[in-house]
Amino acid sequence: MELARTVARLGRWLEEHAPGDFRQLAPPADPELIAAVTENRFELHQDVRTWLALHDGSALDRAGVAGTFVPTDFPLLGAVGIRDGLRAMEEESARAVEDDEAAACVAGVRADARWLPVALNHTGGRLVVDHREGPAFGAVLELDPSIGLNGVKRWDSLSQLFDSVLDALVHGTPIATASGSKAVPRIEDTRGLPPHVVWDIHHG
Question: Hey, where are the domains in the chain?
Answer: 2-197
pTM (predicted TM-score): 0.91
Q: Are 152 and 176 in contact (CB under 8 A)?
A: no
pLDDT digits (tens, 9 = 90+) for 90-149: 988 887 766 665 555 544 457 888 999 999 988 888 999 999 999 999 999 998 877 777
Which of these ranges, 17-26, 60-69, 173-182, has the smallest mean pLDDT? Answer: 60-69
Whether 106 and 115 have beta carbons less than 8 Å apart is answered as no
Cβ-count burial 50-89 (b if 16+ within 10 Å, e if not): bbbebbbbbbbeeebbbbbbbbbbbbbbbbebbbebbeeb
23 has pLDDT over 90: yes
What integer is the mean pLDDT of 59-83?
A: 88
Query: What are the C-alpha distances in Å from 143 to residues 16, 64, 131?
Result: 32, 23, 15
Least confident of 69-73, 106-110, 135-139, 192-196: 106-110
DSSP state of 133: S
6 has a pLDDT exceeding 60:
yes
Domain spanning 2-197 has what CATH number? 3.40.1580.10
